[in-house]
Chain A
Amino acid sequence: MREKILTVIEKNSRIDLKELAIILGVDEAAILNELAAMEKEHVICGYHTLINWDKTGVEKVMAMIEVRVTPQRGMGFDKVAERIYNYPEVESVYLISGSFDFMVVLDGKNLREVSQFVSEKLSTLDSVLSTKTNFILKKYKDHGTIMAEPPKDERMKIAP
């Protein structure tokens, strides 16, 4: 049941509980219990909103930064990651296989803010060996959702 609930709310976390119960063919109380349990277990980590900031006039700059680090003895990468992800301007941090170690996604007001963060905060961490900043120019798809407006229903209105 968990998987079924998650599949639906991953795409629409605002779905009405009653509706969700009908769609899944289970009762509301059972769903409510599962949701509470999954929140507690941190399976569900939040109910965020996917925003296309480009359409709002609010200025934002995003960058993906490739970071190479020296893992710390006994702590591996986790300790270093923690030092990075605690900065509020860091949107996400992934440990990556391949030619670098972390992919850090930064959310800033403008170019200067982002580069300042990289040069003053990120690069100066003891374990950070090098960084490579990639600014995001345009976002086409995020969280499985295409940013462009969906095409109209072009089917004939009625047909046998």
Chain B
Amino acid sequence: MRNPLSKQIVEIEPSGIRKFFDIVNEMEDAISLGVGEPDFDTPWHIREEGIYSLEKGRTFYTSNAGLKELKIEISRYMERKFHLEYDYNHEIIVTVGGSEAIDIAMRAMLDPGDEVLIPQPSFVCYPPCALLAGGKPVIIELKEENEFRLTAEEVLAAITPKTKILVLPFPNNPTGSVMEKEDLEAIAKVVIEHDLFVISDEIYSELTYGFSHISIASLPGMQERTITINGFSKSYAMTGWRLGYACGPREIMEQMLKIHQFAIMCAPTTSQYAAVEALKNGDSDVEKMRQEYDGRRRYLLHRLREMGIECFEPYGAFYMFPSIKQFGMTSEEFAKQLLEKEKVAVVPGTAFGASGEGFLRISYAYSLEDLKAALERIENFVRTLKREQ
């Protein structure tokens, strides 16, 4: 039989710590701080809209780019949150989660050999998406001393004549790092000077603490070269509904829509109706959840520092990215031992790129009680390690 597989897909490496994940997911009694999704249920009024839409028999396809009602609500949201104006008819596509938006944006923009700048640590999908789109991922290693923000110098140093896209993953999973206005202005300058495009993954934009998220597209000269990606998963606790969106210049969106049209058809109809309700009446839910996360964030940071684990204060998403370098172990070793000895699951920083070595991702999408219980175990573990040192 001939080899049934595409060379390209075979060459893409599966995540190296897949095995570790599999062990944890099978373990019944492990306490996990390893989840990348909210612990809240989708607010009831939003779920109810989904239910109503089913009861009314709204079980058909929507138009490819999404329900008109939803696209209008998205354009209003972008305006009221980020002062960005998008024509709902041509500049917004509703996608199956933010991930689809990332995929189709890259496929619509890359030619073979085009380079994509990807800051890491970051969510795992950017390099494979770039590869599958025929592009070449170029990793920028973010540094702890910059609190894992991206600097203009780092971008400059990675640019070649082939560079086409810069991925901007902030607020960041896994570091919790955010970019402030000055940080973004410096990046925007480089982007414009070198005629690059930006894919800005802003899925955590609602979850910032002490700062309001700024969308890079809102800086002068940037809207025409930015695809802004957002969605409902993190802000409204709607991960399972699989709903996101992309906003950007008509020229690019038209091509993205073709891929979406042929590969996906349209995002789930039920989810789209629920999302209309989320955008119309969900602001106070988001704020409630945000405040809850903020309290846990302070608590987790305090406890980690109390047990002598270094960590910079993150102002976004629901992750903390403490350093475990003092223990002389790799991230993976540390995570494995923590799981074996204390049955607490965290994600090794290396799951998000080589520059995550020496760090762990701890999620605080857990109730305070769960956090407390897990932190006690981590404290035990750390105490033993320190005694052995």
List residues of chain A with CB under 8 Å of any chain B CB: 7-8, 19, 22-25, 153, 155-160
Contacts and interface: CB of A to CB of B under 8 A. Distances in A.
Contacts of B24: 157-158
Nearest to A12: B368
B138 interface: no
A159 B302 contact: no
A23 B298 contact: yes
B345 A160 contact: no
Interface of B: 15, 20-21, 24-25, 27, 30, 32, 34-37, 39, 123-124, 173-174, 291, 295-296, 298-299, 302, 345, 347, 351-352, 368
B109 to A, nearest CB: 24
Given A153-B39, A155-B35, A155-B37, A160 B15 contact: yes
B299 A23 contact: yes
B295 A159 contact: no
A160 B319 CA distance: 11
A22 B299 contact: yes
B34 A157 contact: yes
Contacts of B298: 22-25
23 contacts: A19-B299, A19-B368, A22-B298, A23-B295, A23-B296, A23-B299, A153-B39, A155-B39, A157-B27, A157-B30, A157-B345, A158-B20, A158-B25, A158-B32, A158-B347, A159-B21, A159-B35, A159-B37, A160-B36, A160-B124, A160-B174, A160-B347, A160-B352
Nearest to B346: A158
Nearest to A18: B302
A155 B36 CA distance: 9
A23 B294 CA distance: 8
A156 B35 contact: yes
Nearest to A23: B295
Contact of B25 (A22, A157, A160): A157
A25 B291 CA distance: 12
Nearest to B335: A158
Contacts of B20: 158
A99 B161 CA distance: 78
A159 B299 contact: no
A8 B292 CA distance: 9
Contact of A22 (B30, B39, B124, B302): B302
Nearest to A154: B240
Contacts of A158: 20-21, 24-25, 32, 34-35, 345, 347
Nearest to B352: A160
B295 A24 contact: yes
Contacts of A8: 295
A113 to B, nearest CB: 37
Contacts of A25: 298
A69 B39 CA distance: 48
Contacts of B21: 158-159
B32 A157 contact: yes
A153 B123 CA distance: 23
B320 to A, nearest CB: 14
Contacts of A160: 15, 36, 123-124, 173-174, 347, 351-352
B243 to A, nearest CB: 18
A158 B37 CA distance: 10
Contact of A159 (B30, B36, B291, B352): B36
- In this complex, the member of A24, A155, A157 whose beta carbon has the largest number of chain B beta carbons within 10 angstroms is A157
Contacts of B124: 160
The residue in A155, A157, A158 that gathers the most chain B C-beta atoms within 10 A of its C-beta is A158
Contacts of B34: 157-159
Nearest to A155: B35
A140 B174 CA distance: 39
A136 B342 CA distance: 47
B237 to A, nearest CB: 11
A51 to B, nearest CB: 19
Contacts of B352: 160
Most buried by A among B20, B302, B347: B302
A156 to B, nearest CB: 6
